[in-house]
Chains A and B, each alone.
Chain A
Amino acid sequence: MTTAFVLFLALVSVGLSVMAWRKREQLVWQFTIPQEPASHGVPYFEQVFDYTAPRGQAHSPSILKEDDGFSILWFEGSAEAQADVDIHAVRCVRTEENWQADSPAPLVTRKELSGAFDPEQLVVTLGNTVENETIPQSIFATVVSVGGWAMASVADLRLGHGAAQYARKLNLSPFLNRSYLVKSPMVEMADGSFALPAYFEMGATHGAFVRLGRDGRACDLRRMAGEGEKPIQPMIVALGPERAIAYLRDFDPSGVLLLSRTEDGGKSWSNAEKTTLPNPSAPVAALCIGAGRVLMAMNDDATGAHSLSLALSEDEGNSWRAIHTLEQNAGDARYPMMRRLPDGEIVLTYSHGTKGGIRAFVFNQSWIDTQ
């Protein structure tokens, strides 16, 4: 009797497997390579937002592209990881003369996000955010329900009418779905989908390259591990259809930036290795600006994050030269994010004054070319 029942279950399983095979996502393991925008127009580098939190801390800004400009999102509260931290945002729109920022305001509170889950889930604090480029007006938010950052999860959060409408967690870890966080923007793939750089912050730590299906659910995950190093916060730069480099922060303060490579469109990543780029255990922002050129915003002093610079590589990251100093000795300037807008302009944002506030700049290709 038992054998017959189990054989029946096995038969059902075969049917389910056929169904799953037919419904499976056909992932394309190739990157989209951004076209190099034409270098024309007057070079400019314009500060569009300078904000100091009225109290407490404002940190880890991200950029959400919009039709008429962009929004900067960051977390703000009495201090990082405290139970009064919410996501704040400011909209920046282009006028005929220049860029103008609205007044900053809370975008998503912990209570709103908690209620956006179905069933509701406790949200104690919020962290890094990244735009979910697969679905308009959506973000991935780092959410903590218990413990600290090492117990965080990544929430796929849909926004609508300026508020949280729907949330669910990406399934990334077998350990209570814990310890995955996000920091850097998504990577466009050749099939029009986007991959999410994420990282695991417990134990040995590793970076992760998460593929998402059409329904926005995680459908594959590849690791960027280290041997002795503790790689986190991957910043992925695609250099060719199947070639990309990921710059990773070393969670142990080794004093240098780590690097992992893929030669097969993200299917496999080399073990993170040390570069010669000095780094005070801080994330970087990088952007491929065409023809093997990579622009990077980085803390370039191994002893601390008081210095933030823009550097340019013209040989796919093999050598670098500083082209502009953004911050120097005015408190820590950290967690840069850089993204290209549809018309070719580049937005750069970071926290300044040791998590005291947020700054954002917009510049163009001509400005880079004149540096």
Chain B
Amino acid sequence: MSARYTDIALACVIAWMCWGLLSLFMGGLPALVAGALMGGGAATFLRHNMVVRGIMALFDPIGIVLPLLIVGQALRTLGLPLPEFAALELVLFLILYVAFLATVFGVVPSDPYRYGYHPKPVAVVVLLLCAYGVLTGNWMVPLIAVAGQAMWVFKIGSSNYFDHILHATLVPVALVTLIARMIW
């Protein structure tokens, strides 16, 4: 179950990378379709390929956040009115997440990551994110939070909840999104 989910998550990540590259040369929708085909194909037929194994090793644990954000972005490209993150939300996320990552390097003398192993702190975090969704009207955040909690409870993927709802690649992704919004 966990391995098959990871196959799907890996396919999403590769599809997203291919989609991003192809969109430099072709329209949004054709790039999306080609990217999805390449992602699915690579995760299915190129499992032994060094590049695919390298991507898997680099991104593991992929969690739920990347696949959900990638699917959300794809659905928006297809014209569905999904909520987007405001620039202020992205800035706040970057500040908080970079601070969270800094704790692992000992820059901040705290270890919030370890609370991701325990049901009580996880329950509090999920409900706080749900409250955030109610206040802002952005249901994407609670969806990621609860889907991540379900994955964590059913032991699909990481044994730490934070690995399901966060991923280090979100830092460059959020930065690039912010810069792109400033340019355009």
- The answer to whether A and B belong to the same complex is yes
Contact for B53 among A9, A10, A121, A204, CB less than 8 A = A121
Contact: B57 with A146, CB < 8 Å?
yes
Whole-angstrom CA separation of A118 from B139 in the bound complex: 32
Of B16-24, B148-156, B174-182, the one touching chain A: B148-156
Contact: A171 with B114, CB < 8 Å?
no
Q: Which A residues are CB-close (under 8 A) to B10?
A: 119
Of B30-38, B71-79, B87-95, B104-112, the one touching chain A: B104-112
The answer, yes or no, to whether A222 is at the interface (CB within 8 Å) is yes
Contact for A122 among B57, B100, B158, CB less than 8 A = B57
Contact for A176 among B118, B137, B146, B168, CB less than 8 A = B168
The answer, yes or no, to whether B80 is at the interface (CB within 8 Å) is no
Q: Which of A123-159 contact B (CB under 8 A)?
A: 123, 145-146
* Chain B residue nearest to A179 in the complex (CB): B104
Contact: A174 with B54, CB < 8 Å?
no
Q: Which B residues are CB-close (under 8 A) to A213?
A: 159
Could you say which interface size class chain A belongs to?
35 or more
The answer, yes or no, to whether B143 is at the interface (CB within 8 Å) is yes
Contact: A9 with B100, CB < 8 Å?
no
Contact: B160 with A20, CB < 8 Å?
no
> 9 tightest CB-CB pairs across the interface, nearest first?
A204-B106, A203-B105, A145-B57, A17-B123, A20-B119, A217-B159, A121-B57, A122-B53, A118-B3
A-B contact pairs, 21 of them (CB 8 A): A2-B133, A2-B137, A7-B130, A10-B126, A12-B146, A13-B126, A13-B127, A16-B153, A17-B122, A17-B149, A19-B153, A115-B48, A119-B3, A119-B10, A146-B54, A169-B60, A174-B100, A174-B162, A218-B160, A221-B111, A222-B114
**Interface positions of A (Cβ within 8 A of B):** 2-3, 5-7, 9-10, 12-14, 16-17, 19-21, 23-24, 114-115, 117-123, 145-146, 169-171, 173-177, 179, 200, 202-206, 213, 215, 217-223, 225
